[in-house]
Structure 1
């Protein structure tokens, strides 16, 4: 059977009608923060290895980690670890088949976002 409507259809109709939801965005962000934490951890491991190697190499690694870029990466890592942890708690709640209704799931998404920012600020101020 021939497709008579071939030229009148958009290529990706789902992209025109799909509205990103907080739960899907926060799920994607959980994956992104997990990978970002790996990169931050690699910087810290590099710093430790440089400390064990030589004084000159440690000075280079320390200069990178204590620069504005290193501070930004470490700040992002603090936020990412809080976000990733709270998102994990959210998934543990869902694994218990609790708070699965859309309004409750969205409330948990906002709790993860707001909680991660508050806990990051708390960590920066206290530590």
Structure 2
């Protein structure tokens, strides 16, 4: 049998030249925020269930929900809700066949990121 000479090549040549784009990052963040919202929902459901079970159990759940950890989870959840909502609107816009030019998609991506932080800040201010 003839012995084959192995050629040294990089495993993934595209990774050497690929740069993540804002549109791909916002798409990935949409999936992450959608799944991350589960944490906030679980904390809220635990708090409500604890209120229905007993006053002592509610005191424990309320201590967690109103602690720095609960504040962090609910603040991140508020941001995730706004981000996910704005991203959904952008995808509806894309599905209509509009905004698909690179420059417009970039502006929409930055609009989602900035808008989600602004709306989260306003939500915290109002609530």
| 1:113 aligned partner | 113
Task: Give the CA deviation at 1:16.
Answer: 1.1
Q: Distance in 2 between matches of 1:80 and 1:34?
A: 7
Give the superposition deviation at 1:5. 5.5
Task: Specify the SS of the correspondent of 2:11.
Answer: coil
Alignment of 1:98-109 (within 5 A): 98-109=98-109
Aligned residues: 125
Gaps of 5+ in 1: none
Distance 1:102 1:76 in 2: 29
TM-score by length of 1: 0.94
Deviations 1:56-108 (A, max 9, x none): 11111111111101100000001000000000000000010000011111110
Residue in structure 2 matched with residue 84 of structure 1 by the alignment: 84
Which residue of 1 is the match for residue 74 of structure 2?
A: 74
SS in 2 for 1:29: helix
Q: Secondary structure at the match of 1:106?
A: helix
Matches within 5 A, 1:7-46: 8-46=8-46
Runs (4+) of structure 1 exceeding 6 A deviation are none
Please give the TM-score of this superposition, normalised by the length of structure 2: 0.94
Unaligned regions of 5+ residues in structure 2, if any? none
